[in-house]
Structure 1
Amino acid sequence: MASVLLALSLLLLALRHTASSAPTATFPSDAAALASLKSAVSASSVPPFSCLASWNFARDPCAAFPCGLHCYAPANSSYLRVTAISLDPAGYSGALPAPVLSSLPFLASLSLADNRFHGALPAGVPLPPSLRVLDLSGNAFSGAIPVSLFSHASALQELYLSRNAFSGRIPPEVASLGALTRMDLQHNGLTGALPRMDAMRSLAHVDVSANALSGTLLDAPGRLPPSLVSVVARNNSFSGPLRATALAAVPALRVLDLTSNSLSGAVPGGAFAHPALQQLRLGSNQLDTVEEAPDGGASSQLVELDLSNNRLAGRLPGCLGTMPRLVAVALDRNRFVGVIPDQYAVRVAAEEATEQWVPFARLMLQGNYLCGALPSQMRQLKEGDAVVSLADNCLPRCPHKFFFCQGVPQKSHAACPKCDTAIHEEILLEMH
């Protein structure tokens, strides 16, 4: 019994020693950097029950601040170090002080998202070498994105600068961020060309929508890294062609959204045979041709295709009817002519999937020059079966009793090109 009591006493002494030696105070320069952040925020923009309102520097930050902060104790250190700052979206207004970037060497995550921080980012101040996530989205930061944010030594993995007022070019030095996986720069005032990013071998997701970017994007292989999974660049001024070879150079790509740009030329058939591409959105461009898929569409992984509001002419591409996973098709507001392919009608009228394909849930063909008789399968459609529109075409037998014929009336005979003779014969037979 005496030996057991002795052992317990020694254990308690050891625990007391460990507890007394554990760091309980924040490193002084870390505390000073936190104080500079609170001082930079206008007091009138700090609500009473917000995180910053609770930051009372009469107490130790890492030991006593209830929110917005994470710390840890490095080995062989007598201090706690700040590893994460994440402020609540309380409407804080102020500038970002340089010490937050320059004096927190252990900082791994900084989020000031959805507040009212404003002004330029500190220039000439590199990111902390340990920083993995930088989220400044949804503020009012302005001016150029500083080149100093990017260096080969950076470990940054996620960069969110969206919904601000940044202007000027995206620095080509962004390509030095070898560990970056996500880059979100949407809804700013950025201009110029997208820099080459082929060296960014970890990059998976890029969103540069709603800027004023220009130049070419997928006209040649090698501009983008093969690791990309999604590229979203809506509402810019990218121009030039879309090349099958450039798409093939990003074999992991699942989402490509270039809606509302100035792309021209053909939609390459290679896009339909891409091994991973599931969503292809090219609406509101200046494309004029759709190439057929090289294998007829059988190997396509596409789930959604949007080619609306272009200058596409000729007959509707037959390969879309055989693409096994395709669910949503938007070909509206183009210059397509001829009849609606039977396979389109079969897919949109189907109630269940087959071994070869799934039904179309959405088929938008309005605003073209399609002619001939309605496929018999479509006459059985009821509103709610699928989202379908054939309005504003050259379909003489598309009365408003069919929900998909409602909306803008069919074009006048004078506005429609001559339909195929065989189609006219079919219509005449139906009328008799």
Structure 2
Amino acid sequence: MASIPPRVQLLELVVVVLQQAAAAMVATFPGDAAALASLKSAVDAASVPAYSCLASWDFARDPCAVFPCGVRCYAPPNSSYHRVTGVSLDPAGYSGTLPTTVFASLPFLAFLSLASNRFHGALPAGAPLQPGLRVLDLSGNAFTGEIPASFFTPASSLEELYLSRNAFSGGIPPQVASLGALKRMELQHNGLTGSLPLMGTMRSLAYLDLSGNALSGSLLDAPGRLPSSLVSVVARNNSFAGPLQAAALAALPAMRVLDLTGNAVTGAVPGAAFAHPSLQQLRLGSNQLGTVEEAPDGGASSQLVELDLGGNRLTGRLPGCVAAMPRLAVVGLDRNRFTGGVPNQYAARATADGPTDKWVPFVRLMLQGNYLCGALPSQLRQLKDEGAVVSLADNCLPRCPHKFSFCQGAPQKSNATCPKCYP
């Protein structure tokens, strides 16, 4: 057997040394590896399926080098270690509590997602989020207790905060207002109470969802409560009360979606909402609104595509400006106290074959559950089966036979219930 030449032996030795050096260069920083290990040890072993990401974390090996999933790393300049920048667990049903080290001992962490699992208990309080953390997603778990106020500081770079579908209680910490980089905050479907803190200084916030809590107080009673950067405000099924002020709407010039369905908002629907320069979806159903103001320009400049005012206490005639809103396609004015006749302009929009140079057709016109009376507009009799969805059920329209689809449903009210008709 031929011997290996000394030169080849030397080259092989150099390769081994270089490989060992390279392995040392990609090693995970010990403190980061320890924080990952503490996360795994905090999870109930019985809740870790064999196929899951967390089951593959073998700390006899280097996390950044060989972990197949759940961890992202970065090699800082002039460093001999990799640092953990992202932790993203799969929705495998993991159950356990979160150790403080996940938040306190990963200084390079930019992304943390534990969404759609069964983590529970209170979040560790006392330490702020890492300044470089940009996305925190703890949605769809079973966390309880208050949202830690200590998480939020002016030094934070947090851009997205997802705490929805948990069991958090207490108020929204006023310290969230210090998050100048936050763009999206989703807190829906928890047990949060109290009033909304002043958030006008959150100059980057665009998307806010507070639905399905028990929040109260006013939301749009004055300018400055919400940041002017907001594009979407969704706060369905809370206990927000008070009126909607035109000045507060004007202070949100970028807003495209306002959804306050299922609250206790009172007063008038301000005409300024119909003339808002950006607002496309206005959903104020199931509140305690009493009147609808006409749009200042008759509705011609409105950007609304959807308007839902159903389930309020609105009285008087159906607002004429609705028929003039050029982009409006979905209209819900049902379950109110409107009287008088159905405007011919409403019928024309609902039965049109296509758009005109002034407006698009209605695709949905819900007027049921009011006190509308008089003769049906003749255009409605031409409504096609494949046309707009229209409902006039449960009104004061005795000449609304069930042969028409828009008359089907709850029967018309009795004469004793209906007021005198002024078409």
Check whether TM > 0.5.
yes
Structure 2 counterpart of 1:408: 410
SS in 1 for 2:25: coil
Structure 1 counterpart of 2:195: 193
Count of residue pairs brought into register by the alignment: 409
Aligned-pair distance for 1:20? 3.6
Letter in 1 for 2:280: Q
Q: Is contact 2:109-2:133 (8 Å) kept?
A: yes
Q: Distance in 1 between matches of 2:223 and 2:147?
A: 27
Q: Distance in 1 between matches of 2:284 and 2:334?
A: 12
SS in 2 for 1:83: strand
Structure 1 counterpart of 2:152: 150
Structure 1 counterpart of 2:6: none
CA gap of 1:156–1:407, structure 2 versus 1, over 3 A, is: same
CA gap of 1:277–1:19, structure 2 versus 1, over 3 A, is: farther
Q: Is contact 1:215-1:238 (8 Å) kept?
A: yes
Structure 2 counterpart of 1:167: 169
Post-superposition CA distance 1:7-48 (Å, at most 9, x none): xx9xx99xx799849821000000000000000000000000
CA gap of 1:325–1:18, structure 2 versus 1, over 3 A, is: farther
Q: Is contact 1:309-1:333 (8 Å) kept?
A: yes
* Pairing 1:281–2:264 present: no
Q: CA RMSD in A?
A: 1.5
Q: Is contact 2:267-2:288 (8 Å) kept?
A: yes
Structure 2 counterpart of 1:5: none
SS in 1 for 2:192: strand
Runs of 4+ in 1 over 6 A off after TM superposition: 16-19
Q: Distance in 2 between matches of 1:34 and 1:122?
A: 16
* Pairing 1:57–2:53 present: no
Structure 2 counterpart of 1:71: 73
Structure 1 counterpart of 2:380: 378
Structure 2 residues without counterparts, runs of 5 or longer: 1-10
Post-superposition CA distance 1:49-75 (Å, at most 9, x none): 100000000110000100011101000
Q: Distance in 2 between matches of 1:197 and 1:170?
A: 11
Structure 2 counterpart of 1:127: 129
SS in 2 for 1:271: helix
Q: Distance in 2 between matches of 1:95 and 1:370?
A: 57
Q: Is contact 1:340-1:374 (8 Å) kept?
A: yes
CA gap of 1:60–1:132, structure 2 versus 1, over 3 A, is: same
Aligned-pair distance for 1:384? 2.5
Structure 1 counterpart of 2:8: none
Aligned-pair distance for 1:174? 0.6
- The percentage of counterpart residues that share the same residue type is 76
Q: TM-score, normalised by structure 1?
A: 0.93
Structure 1 counterpart of 2:47: 45
Q: Is contact 2:351-2:384 (8 Å) kept?
A: no
